[in-house]
């Protein structure tokens, strides 16, 4: 893996978001109430041995990387699915006067948790909002749609948690929010990127329309340690 985006969690926790690292120099991971992501620079025998020693018991961890790795048999594989990583190198924004995004802050956390629990755009926890720059569309005091930023590293910022209440689908809310987020990232001199399930045809079509292209397949897995490593 040579590109920053091939191991984005590692790069984020090694650079821009190093203050979030709750692990070590070998095994890096976010606080449990912010994100489940864990990363290592290599998955060789020595690194895996360190992983088994350092991670806590009964916490779900997620990996997000270009290289497919074998989860050690001493860990429980909870879930795995292939993703696409998409990068916006040719931004093509849509404009909407009807949808005015608002900044989402700590006061919106309960609504954000409810929306993400219902729509399942990816992991979202009580302090995930600390990644910053979350925006939403409010309909009659109700959070109808949202999007925000997650992984950050020099030159790149990830757009994440893009989701819409089912009854508001088709109104262009997701397009408005992704465009707003992408424009802000580009304005800061970074390139937007995101991850999407390969079977999410509707979302992929939207992202392509906005100027995102598929960069590569990404391996995503959730695992946990069920007993202390001896």
CA distance 130 to 195: 19
Task: Report in angstroms the alpha-carbon separations of 63 from 69, 123, 162, 206, 214.
Answer: 10, 12, 20, 25, 19
Task: Report in angstroms the alpha-carbon separations of 85 from 8, 159, 190, 191.
Answer: 10, 11, 16, 13
Q: Going residue by residue through the chain (230 aa), what tens digit of pLDDT does each one get?
A: 579 999 999 999 999 999 999 999 999 999 999 999 999 999 999 999 999 999 999 999 999 999 999 999 999 999 999 999 999 999 998 876 667 899 999 999 999 999 999 999 999 999 999 998 999 999 989 999 999 999 999 999 999 999 999 999 999 999 999 999 999 999 999 999 999 999 999 999 999 999 999 999 999 999 999 888 76
Q: Quote the crossing angle between the two packed helices 173-187 and 201-209, to the nearest 10°.
A: 50
Half-sphere exposure of 131 (CA within 13 A, CB side): 28
pLDDT at 228: 81
């Amino acid at each position: 893996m040579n590109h920053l985006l091939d191991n984005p969690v590692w790069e984020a926790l090694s650079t821009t978001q190093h203050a979030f690292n709750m692990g070590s120099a070998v095994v890096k991971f976010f606080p449990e109430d912010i994100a489940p992501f864990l990363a290592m620079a290599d998955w060789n025998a020595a690194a895996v041995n360190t992983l088994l020693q350092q991670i806590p018991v009964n916490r779900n961890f997620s990996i997000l990387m270009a290289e497919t790795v074998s989860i050690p048999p001493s860990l429980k594989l909870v879930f795995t699915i292939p993703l696409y990583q998409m990068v916006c190198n040719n931004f093509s924004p849509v404009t909407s006067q009807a949808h005015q995004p608002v900044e989402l802050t700590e006061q919106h956390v309960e609504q954000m948790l409810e929306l993400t629990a219902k729509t399942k755009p990816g992991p979202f926890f009580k302090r995930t909002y600390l990644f910053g720059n979350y925006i939403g569309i409010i309909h009659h005091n109700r959070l109808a749609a949202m999007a925000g930023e997650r992984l950050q590293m020099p030159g790149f910022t990830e757009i994440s948690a893009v989701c819409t209440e089912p009854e508001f689908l088709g109104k262009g809310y997701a397009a408005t929010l992704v465009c707003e987020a992408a424009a802000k990232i580009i304005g800061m001199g970074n390139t937007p990127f995101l991850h999407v399930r390969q079977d999410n045809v509707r979302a992929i079509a939207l992202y392509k329309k906005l100027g995102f292209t598929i960069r590569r397949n990404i391996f995503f897995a959730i695992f946990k340690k069920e007993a202390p490593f001896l």
